[in-house]
Amino acid sequence: MSVVLVISIPLLAAFLSILSKKIAPYLLLAVSLGIIGLLSFDVINLQTVTIGGFAAPYGINLILDGYSYVGIYVVNILFFLISVVTYRKYSKMASILLVALAGLNGLLLTGDLFNLFVFIEISGIAAYLITTTNKQTVATFNYLVLGTVGSSLYLFGLIILYAMFGTLNMSDLSTVIAASGANSMEVALPFLLMFIGLGVEAKLLPFNSWVKGILSSSNTLSGPMIASVYATAIGLMFGRLLTTVFVVSDQLMMIISAVVVFSILAGEAMAYASTKLREILLFSSIAQAAIVVLLFALGFEWFGLVLAIVNGFSKLVLFLVVNRIVDETNTDEIDSLRGIFSLNKLVGVAFTATALSVIGLPLFVGFVVKMNVLTSLMLNDYLVFVIVILISSVVEGVYFIKMIVKLWFDSGEVRVIKFDLVTKYIVLVIAIFIVVFGIYFDPLKELLSTYVDFVIGGIL
């Protein structure tokens, strides 16, 4: 079957779901589960589809290669898990979520730069609407403004490229640029504009002021959706652009490095300076997103992919648990949640395992990934980045450990949080996978390698 279905089914379902408010949430579940089914049973083959039969440089094409296959698979699983948890409470959002799903799948699949812009807008609009559930109108408005600024910059860069080379197809563009013998300095501006435009969505530091407003008041839907699903999808899309399309001149690389290093260090410092659970998580996710972008920019697609996926699942657990706690207690100030896990042990264990994995401690999958990332950075002489990641890891570890110790060991006014069964299962199963793959990484590596035939470096 054609891969277009992955985009068109949710889009169609979105329109259908407007007809009946009652059916909408179930339609959402059915569609997202259906897409996972389509992907798991090899119904959709790896292929490149040209829309409308126009040949590639002229028409729009969708690329389902190993990379995007893994990407949409992971994103759809994350999306489904969140929908299962929230479909009752946020049933009104069902239609919008379906649009978001179509947009996100499109982001990962499209092989055309302008088409990508369209999908950025679609998923962006859906994201703005999802964040309205936070009931923080100003924050959402800021997000809207910044998102629009970002996509305009992206579009601006795109136009310049089109004017220079006359094509918008990704692979075509990269061959044309190579063939034209254009100086990498000449294309630095359009690529910088695109980088900034995408950086807004990818939470890179000077461009991401929307994140605080959105995620520090997030709920069980918007928190995991933005921090996990959107972050993964945009990270992977960014990865494809950085590795296949971008021509990175020295100066652009310098800007990218500076932005990324600043994001990592400042993200961890800000998380360290915060006392609220959601703020800590959101600032630390800025740092992690930056590491993913860094890996792609330096050309380590494989590790970027693995890190993005592991991050996606970790953030899902962390944000689900935290937002559920906030729902019940109306606070995310750590000091007023002291000892909360002593009565919610299972969820606490899952949260702790995930957090330890994020820090990169052994027996958890984060350790394996981190060691591989650092080793390959080191082998390629990126000493500065290794030092930056190591220093930031110390800070990251301290605030996470502080948080975990407070949540487990301190005695405060503790109350039982009613985690619904589905949430419990989801966080526990993900935590178990984090531990299992942390001990025995080979299966995950093989699983990913069958789909992604990038060159594997390091000790993975």
Partner 1 sequence: MANLELILLVVLLSGVLAYLGGKIHRVIGTIITIFVSGFAFVSIAYFGFNDILDTSNGFLPLITFDVTYLGLYFGIIVTFIFFMVSFFNPYFIDKYKYPAVYSMLYLFSLAGVIGVFFTNNFMTLFFFFELVVWSSLFLIPLGKCKHAASWYYGFSAFGSFALLFAILIMSVNNNGSFEIASSLLAVDGGNRILVFILVMVAAFAKLGAFPLHIWLPKVLTNAPDPVTSVFSGGLEKLGAFMAVVGLIKILPSGFVIDVLDMHLSHYFIALLGALSIVFGTLMAIRQDDAKKLLAYSSMSNGGYILVALAIASDTSFSGALYHVLAHALASTAAFLAIGAVKRQTGTSKMSELGGVIHKMPITYLVYLIAIISMAGIPPMGGFISKWLIFQSVINEGLIIIAIATFFGSIGSFLYVFRPLAALFLGQEIPEIKNIIKEAPLVMQIPLITLSLLNIFTGVYPRDILLFINKVAVELGINPLEVSTWYVKGNNGYLNPALISGIFGVGVFVSYIIFIVLKKSKKVTLMDTYTAGNFVYTEELLHYSVDFYAPLERLYEKYIDIMKNFYNSLANKVKEFGNFVKYFFFTNKPEVTVFWIIVVILYLLWGEIV
Q: Contact positions toward partner 1, by CB under 8 A?
A: 138-139, 142, 145-146, 149, 153, 185, 188-189, 192-193, 196, 200, 205-213, 251-252, 255, 259, 265-266, 269-274, 283, 342, 356, 361-363, 367, 371, 374-375, 378-379, 381, 386-387, 390-391, 393-395, 397-398, 401-402, 405-406, 408-410, 440, 442, 459
Structure tokens at 448: 């990913």
CA distance 260 to 248: 15
CA distance 74 to 233: 9
CB of 206 to partner 1, least distance (A): 4
CB of 127 to partner 1, least distance (A): 16
User: Nearer to partner 1 by C-beta: 6 or 120?
Assistant: 120
User: Nearer to partner 1 by C-beta: 1 or 343?
Assistant: 343
- Facing residues of 49 across strands? 62
CA distance 235 to 309: 9
Structure tokens at 43: 């119904």
CA distance 49 to 64: 8
CA distance 422 to 82: 10
User: Nearer to partner 1 by C-beta: 95 or 140?
Assistant: 140
Q: Is the CA virtual torsion 348, 336, 420, 39 positive or negative?
A: negative
User: Nearer to partner 1 by C-beta: 90 or 300?
Assistant: 300
CB of 372 to partner 1, least distance (A): 10
Q: For the chain, percent helix, then strand, then coil, each to nearest 5?
A: 75, 5, 20
Residue with tokens 């699949």: 109
CB of 170 to partner 1, least distance (A): 22
Query: Helices 94-109 and 113-131: crossing angle, nearest 10°?
Result: 150
CB of 442 to partner 1, least distance (A): 7
CB of 3 to partner 1, least distance (A): 35
CB of 77 to partner 1, least distance (A): 27
CB of 255 to partner 1, least distance (A): 6
CB of 286 to partner 1, least distance (A): 10
User: Nearer to partner 1 by C-beta: 34 or 339?
Assistant: 339
User: Nearer to partner 1 by C-beta: 37 or 206?
Assistant: 206
CA distance 307 to 234: 13
User: Nearer to partner 1 by C-beta: 125 or 395?
Assistant: 395
CA distance 14 to 28: 8
Q: DSSP labels for 355-412?
A: HHHHHT-TTSHHHHHHHHHHHHHHHTT-HHHHHHHHHHHHHHHHHHHHHHHHHHH--S
User: Nearer to partner 1 by C-beta: 307 or 355?
Assistant: 355
Q: How many CB atoms lie within 10 A of CB 56?
A: 17
User: Nearer to partner 1 by C-beta: 241 or 265?
Assistant: 265
CB of 22 to partner 1, least distance (A): 38
Strands (E), 52-211: 61-64
User: Nearer to partner 1 by C-beta: 97 or 265?
Assistant: 265
Structure tokens at 168: 């918008």
Query: CA 44: distance to chain centroid?
Result: 24
Cβ-count burial of 443 within 10 angstroms (0-12 exposed, 13-18 middle, 19+ buried)? exposed
Q: Is the CA virtual torsion 54, 57, 58, 63 positive or negative?
A: positive
Residue among 370, 251, 364 nearest 317 (CA): 364
